[in-house]
Structure 1
Amino acid sequence: MYNFYEEYWRPFGVLLANMESEGMLVDRSYLADVEKVAIAEQEVAVQRFRCWASKYCPDAKYMNMGSDAQIRQLFFGGTSNRKDVTQVLPNSKTFKVLNSENVIEDGKRIPTKYRNITLHAFGVEMQTEMYTAAGWPSNLKTIKHLFTDEDSIEVEEPSNISLVSSGMPDYGSAYVAFGQGKKGKEACHAIAALCEVCSIDSLISNFILPLQGNDICGKIGRIHCSLNINTETGRLSARRPNLQNQPALEKDRYKIRQAFVAGHGKSLIVADYGQLELRILAHLTNCKSMLGAFKAGGDFHSRTAMNMYAHVREAVEENRVLLEWHAQTGEEKPPAPLLKDAFAAERRKAKMLNFSIAYGKTPLGLSRDWKVSLNEAKETVQLWYKERKEVLKWQEERKRDALTKQHVHTLLGRARRLPLVANASNSQKGHIERAAINTPVQGSAADVAMCAMLEIDKNSQLKELGWRLLLQVHDEVILEGPTESAELAKAIVIQCMSKPFNGTNILKVELAVDAKCAQNWYAAK
């Protein structure tokens, strides 16, 4: 390990310190404007849910939408505790809330700061498989599945309902619970508004407000987070603030990444690997199917979706959608929609399947994620392994390593020590086995990213051009430099990342790199 430290971690530590010093420039005025919009949209969603809920429980129009206890009372009043059936949520309960409407209660002359409201259950049976550690129904995880089985119902326009292949709206269980028809639809859209309130609140509290703090942004408006090599797999972590924790692009309704900008006369280069961990899995397992798919090129998750769903395969075969497209000279857009755009939901499920199975997730866990039967999940897993037997064999070998050697290794030889399996409980054993499968893959991805960053940092041409690394988010790196040399620098960055091991690639698969130049992080994604 000393040789590893001298060759990799020591220069990597110096690089991380330099990146921390550089920091990322933040447009705080943009965030302030976004905050106003977010608060206004959240209030609209709050009123939409309260208006609907008050039809069943009059005092719901005064409820605190941020209170888990009050939300749980409305949906699950009368439900028994999963761990102790003698404990039951009451059908009705009194709560103290802020008297924001200045209601004058009986016996009072003036409105008080707080007032009491009584919330009772909606009176319909709500099924849930999600529970808190204390044994009560888990609000957000459960409620999301009450209004839709997919993320398909648009809250803003109730008429915009995605249709599945059967032609029926993809509503959740609340549609039936509230009597189907008009009432069922109203319930689903109201509950969708509740989820929207929670989503917006998360964006405000976790991203929009923290990034405006005076203690974070220095005099020159840059954020300097702390980058650390302190995870079990060797991946970087960040804190104060955690700039790696950004909302997923499809959930980033306020384009928060747009607040991260380049300085005057400069641009950002954002470069990331395509399906890095799956490529590493293909290399480690020597899986012919995966190696062949990556050699053929294109989107691996889209290929999986095509093999999973008959209607997707039919669309590809009839050329109604394209599995992949490479722009030719003079072409600005593909002749038909790409599969990843036309069947985004199916591709998301395929992506979940690829990573879940690749990391050793059990059929039981997959059945809970997908809300399908255990048998259906088992059949799906078996279909995945049918074409990838080498992966299954490799995973079993890693489990044996955990049992006999108590350690596993990454691509560059870093070891992760594992607890003794013999003394572990069943749940602990499952965790150890998943770690034995996950670490070589995620840890090797961390090795590749580290080597790529070192290649970029030591590239003399990039230094002469004035380009510097600012941040790494797992498989993605961000650089800043003069706009006039952006395209040249981008080509050099791609070269460094595609051949990260001292100018070579030691993997059996090519390392696909996508890079863009822009004035802000969002535009470069």
Structure 2
Amino acid sequence: MFSEAVNQPALEKDRYKIRQAFIAAPGNSLIVADYGQLELRILAHLADCKSMLDAFKAGGDFHSRTAMNMYSHIREAVDRKDVLLEWHPQPDEDKPPVPLLKDAFASERRKAKMLNFSIAYGKTPVGLARDWKVSVKEARETVDLWYRDRKQVLKWQAERKKEANEVHSVKTLLGRTRSFPSMKGASNAHKSHIERAAINTPVQGSAADVAMCAMLEISGNARLKELGWRLILQVHDEVILEGPTDSAEAAKAIVVECMSKPFAGKNILKVDLAVDAKFAQNWYAAK
């Protein structure tokens, strides 16, 4: 049994609806825009992982695709059309003709989702076993299933560990550096900490690179200023703007464009940057 309690900021919920307290001024709305699976997309780019890149290019439910690639019995069920990877209902349809993968194989998809985020953050089988309350052997077997189709990620992570050991630093997408002390004479626990940081710093640091560049694009956009919109808050990979409700739709489209192409109007990644944006009177309603 795997615990559903994953300690990741991306999975936290606003349980007490605190965001309802953030309300736009009369006549104004808030645009709330965030990236979809930004760290995973960056990992796919940095590792040049074909399986992950193909899954993102195909679109749809990334975690269901991960589960399908991890478990042969799920792929066989999809090939037999016993389940659907995803479903796009037509106007006269109220339910899918066969169960969706995320419903029929909920447990496997949950494991795949946990692994997608955990491996991007540098978690090891030992750490995952502790989080999931299972044996290290079971955690390692599940991790091996994830890596089986993503050998480029394993290679990239090994290279970052070596870089931390030999050069004592790693870099983000835009070349920002994080330095590490020498591992010579370090305890196993200290060495493991440095190796985890060497893996997750390029991913999380590059996500920050993307977010910073997106904010610069938004802040410098002349049309947004003409429409009366201004950036008021940024949380992780999410931005919030405030401006007149009557121009919210037009402003939202500009924000999505800025975030989709944050590097001086371009996207330098090998995979598209997915952006979800909504506008409403308060922060909670726009999520």
Instruction: Judge same fold: TM > 0.5, yes or no.
Output: yes
Q: Which residue number corresponds to residue 417 of structure 1?
A: 179
Structure 2 residue matching 1:422: 3-state secondary structure: coil
Letter in 2 for 1:353: L
- Partners of 1:403 and 1:277 lie apart in 2 by 24
Q: Which residue number corresponds to residue 488 of structure 1?
A: 250
Gap change, CA 1:333 and 1:372, over 3 Å in 2: farther
Note if contact 2:174-2:209 (Cα within 8 Å) is conserved in structure 1. Answer: yes
Note if contact 1:325-1:334 (Cα within 8 Å) is conserved in structure 2. Answer: no
- Partners of 1:342 and 1:467 lie apart in 2 by 44
- Partners of 2:103 and 2:245 lie apart in 1 by 31
Establish whether residue 522 from structure 1 lines up as the match of residue 284 from structure 2.
yes
Q: Which residue number corresponds to residue 248 of structure 1?
A: 12
Q: Which residue number corresponds to residue 260 of structure 2?
A: 498
CA shift for structure 1 position 339 = 5.2
Alignment root-mean-square deviation, CA: 2.9
Q: Which residue number corresponds to residue 23 of structure 2?
A: 261
- Partners of 2:167 and 2:148 lie apart in 1 by 29
- Partners of 1:427 and 1:264 lie apart in 2 by 54
CA shift for structure 1 position 319 = 6.4
Structure 2 residue matching 1:456: 3-state secondary structure: helix
- Partners of 2:103 and 2:25 lie apart in 1 by 33
Gap change, CA 1:254 and 1:322, over 3 Å in 2: farther
Q: Which residue number corresponds to residue 23 of structure 1?
A: none
- Partners of 1:374 and 1:497 lie apart in 2 by 40
What is the identity percentage for the equivalent residue pairs of Structure 1 and Structure 2?
75
CA shift for structure 1 position 374 = 1.9
Aligned residue among 113, 117, 121 for 1:355: 117
Q: Which residue number corresponds to residue 190 of structure 2?
A: 428
With structure 2 as the length reference, what TM-score do the two structures score?
0.87
CA shift for structure 1 position 253 = 3.9
Note if contact 2:69-2:149 (Cα within 8 Å) is conserved in structure 1. Answer: no
CA shift for structure 1 position 485 = 0.8
Structure 2 residue matching 1:261: 3-state secondary structure: coil
Letter in 1 for 2:166: T
Note if contact 2:70-2:146 (Cα within 8 Å) is conserved in structure 1. Answer: no
Q: Which residue number corresponds to residue 280 of structure 1?
A: 42
Q: Which residue number corresponds to residue 212 of structure 2?
A: 450
* Relative contact order, higher structure (CA 8 A, sep 6+): 2
- Partners of 1:435 and 1:376 lie apart in 2 by 24
Establish whether residue 366 from structure 1 lines up as the match of residue 128 from structure 2.
yes
- Partners of 2:226 and 2:89 lie apart in 1 by 32
Gap change, CA 1:435 and 1:335, over 3 Å in 2: same
Q: Which residue number corresponds to residue 44 of structure 1?
A: none
Gap change, CA 1:319 and 1:470, over 3 Å in 2: farther
CA shift for structure 1 position 514 = 0.8
Structure 1 residue matching 2:267: 3-state secondary structure: coil
With structure 1 as the length reference, what TM-score do the two structures score?
0.49
Structure 1 residue matching 2:184: 3-state secondary structure: helix
- Partners of 2:75 and 2:227 lie apart in 1 by 47
Aligned residue among 168, 192, 195 for 1:406: 168
Residues 401-443 of structure 1 deviation map (CA, whole Å, 9 limit, x = unaligned): 1111001000101000111111311100000001111111100
CA shift for structure 1 position 505 = 0.6
Letter in 2 for 1:494: V
Aligned residue among 266, 275, 279 for 1:513: 275
Gap change, CA 1:388 and 1:149, over 3 Å in 2: closer
CA shift for structure 1 position 343 = 6.5
- Partners of 1:352 and 1:338 lie apart in 2 by 19
- Give the unaligned 5+ runs of structure 2: none
- Partners of 2:216 and 2:36 lie apart in 1 by 19
- Partners of 2:84 and 2:279 lie apart in 1 by 26
- Partners of 1:320 and 1:267 lie apart in 2 by 44
Aligned residues: 282
Matched ranges for 1:14-413 at <5 A: 248-249=12-13, 252-308=14-70, 322-325=84-87, 331=91, 335-336=95-96, 346-413=108-175
CA shift for structure 1 position 497 = 0.4
- Partners of 1:508 and 1:467 lie apart in 2 by 31
Residues 126-182 of structure 1 deviation map (CA, whole Å, 9 limit, x = unaligned): xxxxxxxxxxxxxxxxxxx9xx9668xxxxxxxxxxxxxxxxxxxxxxxxxxxxxxx
Q: Which residue number corresponds to residue 232 of structure 2?
A: 470
- Partners of 1:268 and 1:343 lie apart in 2 by 37
Note if contact 2:217-2:264 (Cα within 8 Å) is conserved in structure 1. Answer: yes
CA shift for structure 1 position 313 = 5.8
Letter in 2 for 1:430: S
